[in-house]
Amino acid sequence: MSQKTFDYIIVGAGTAGCLLANRLSLNPDKSVLLIEAGGKDNYHWIHIPVGYLYCIGNQRTDWMYQTEPDAGLNGRQLRYPRGKVLGGCSSINAMLYLRGQSRDYEHWADITGDEQWRWTNVESYFTAHEDHHSGVKAHHASKVAGTDFLHHESSRYAQLFKQHKAGGEWRVERQRLRWDILDAFAEAAHQIGIPKVDDFNTGNNEGVSFFEVNQRKGWRWNTSKAFLREIQGKRPNLTVMTNTQVKKLITQKSDGALRCSGLLVETTQGEIQLTANDSVILSAGAVGSPQILELSGLGQADRLRALDIPVVTDLPGVGEGLQDHLQIRSVYKVNNVKTLNTIANSWLGKISIAMEYAFKRSGPMSMAPSQLGAFTRSSDDYQWPNIEYHVQPLSLDAFGEPLHPYPAITASVCNLNPSSRGHVHIDQPDHRQSPKIVTNYLSTDEDRKVAADSLRVTRKIVEQSALSPYQPEELKPGMQYQTDEELARVAGDIGTTIFHPVGTARMGRVDDPQAVTDPRLRVRDGQGGVIKGLRLVDASVMPTITSGNTNSPTLMIAEKAAQWIAQEDWD
């Protein structure tokens, strides 16, 4: 078995991992290895925005996970896409740039007892890597104008950040198309009292607007392009390995303390033992990270023993606390207006779509899965927006199925703060086998009530005069469903994941038995301390799901973690 040694080993070249590799390799004295279980992001459909249709459900780009049958979904199973290439889920996701609400981070600070997670202390970690189309203004930053991130600090990390002119890699642009039917839906939302806004990312996202997207000139902008492309080959201290799957972390006792010294991986050339002088950083995502922890003997002791995995430390929270946004898809047939259904269902329409993208990088091939968004309340019981809309100028029976032959729109609504909790666990000690994903959607009375009420909000919007010229007719779920019980049950029939799993190895206080990491993302040792040399940096550490799409909050977490790691090791 061959062996290799690096200072930092980052497991997972997804959203968090690509940023971490960029930041930690700023120091030429530190060697950094970034490993990815999947392949390179060289499949052309990754980079064409509409190509998510050909990446999700494709073994080349998607891990092809499937959930267990879910009682809340009336026994259904769902596809559970996770990116399987450089860039991870940022290579196949919806490209929507959303930070959530300030209250999300206030809650994190309360749960963890660490003030560094408050909104005022995280906003600059969003703008640190942001390249916003509007330039520098309140709440936003630009690559061209630069960033004042860390300018007030004298640490070596801050000096290297400024020296390399780091920051501003994450491009945010407006979408490059419009639809009359979506303009009308936005006006209808305004007619029921949802304010029109220009920016969902100020800390209060209440309102209706068109989503901003992570694209550059009509191309998908994934984290591989943003954080790896320009530095690969230019930083000899950075190594990237693809098609490299972790078998287990290597831990050992040293001076009475538990330490992670490296990992054992499987490559196309065989097994390699990798040693980390400073840290192993686990960034394999909300499904992959708990899987690796359990394979390594870090998790619920009884569960591990049942699989004949030697217990390194008993961490009851590993794999627990799964949260996700369930989108409930209402479909409305419309008249007297174009939708993607009508354009794409003819060869002439397909040709016009392809030509527009080829010459202008605009039109339907440049579009994110959802163009119009809205954040509002499902009822007056809530003091803050607790539901989010993703509105699309198209309709189909299920993801991957053909578009309907008639003009229609889809208004998907999700509960931003579900109280239902699922879990992710291995059921065999084999790194090549997928873990079991149990989502437990709609398993609480509160979530079922929000589902019913949110469908009523959708109907209220569609009833407004702004949409009346298009004569919307509800096809899904259907007007025959009216009571709370009926609507909650049909929500289970038409609901599906919006691909935002978080919370399966969450951070927390030292006295929190379910916390897998401390507030600085160091993995607990089960004895009141931490495992030296092991951090967890991805969406799995979120104590509660953010009130919006989760990709950009994951980048913020990685930005903070990179600074903490550097300050701990470099000064």
CA distance 152 to 486: 57
Which residue in this structure is represented by tokens 């009420």? Answer: 453
CB 534 within 8 A of CB 280: yes
Long-range contacts of 526-532 (CB under 8 A, 24+ apart): 526/313, 526/314, 526/315, 527/313, 529/257, 529/258, 531/251, 531/258, 531/259, 531/260, 531/298, 531/313, 532/254, 532/257, 532/258, 532/259, 532/260
CB 425 within 8 A of CB 436: yes
140 classed as catalytic: no
> What residue type is 66 in one-letter code?
Q
CA distance 461 to 309: 53
Tokens of 362: 């605009």
CA distance 190 to 125: 32
Annotated catalytic residue, options 325, 390, 423, 500? 500
Closest residue by Cα to residue 374 from 495, 195, 215: 195
CA distance 275 to 3: 8
Helix (H) or strand (E) holding 162: helix 156-163
Closest residue by Cα to residue 19 from 90, 79, 112, 109: 90
| Cα first-last separation, the chain | 35
The neighbour count for residue 107, using CB atoms within 10 Å, is 18
Tokens of 331: 């479909």
Tokens of 498: 């919006």
- Partners of residue 207 on adjacent β-strands: 375
> What residue type is 431 in one-letter code?
H
The DSSP letter of residue 511 is T
Q: Are strands 79-80 and 65-66 parallel, antiparallel or unpaired?
A: antiparallel
CB 407 within 8 A of CB 349: no
CB 375 within 8 A of CB 385: yes
Helix (H) or strand (E) holding 358: helix 347-360
CA distance 302 to 307: 9
Which residues have CB under 8 Å from 165's CB, separation 6+? Answer: 146
Which residues have CB under 8 Å from 278's CB, separation 6+? Answer: 7, 8, 30, 533, 565, 569
CA distance 313 to 532: 13
Q: What is the CA radius of gyration of the chain?
A: 23
CB 52 within 8 A of CB 93: yes
> What residue type is 144 in one-letter code?
V
User: Helices 180-191 and 445-462 meet at what angle, rounded to 10?
Assistant: 110
Residues with active-site annotation: 500
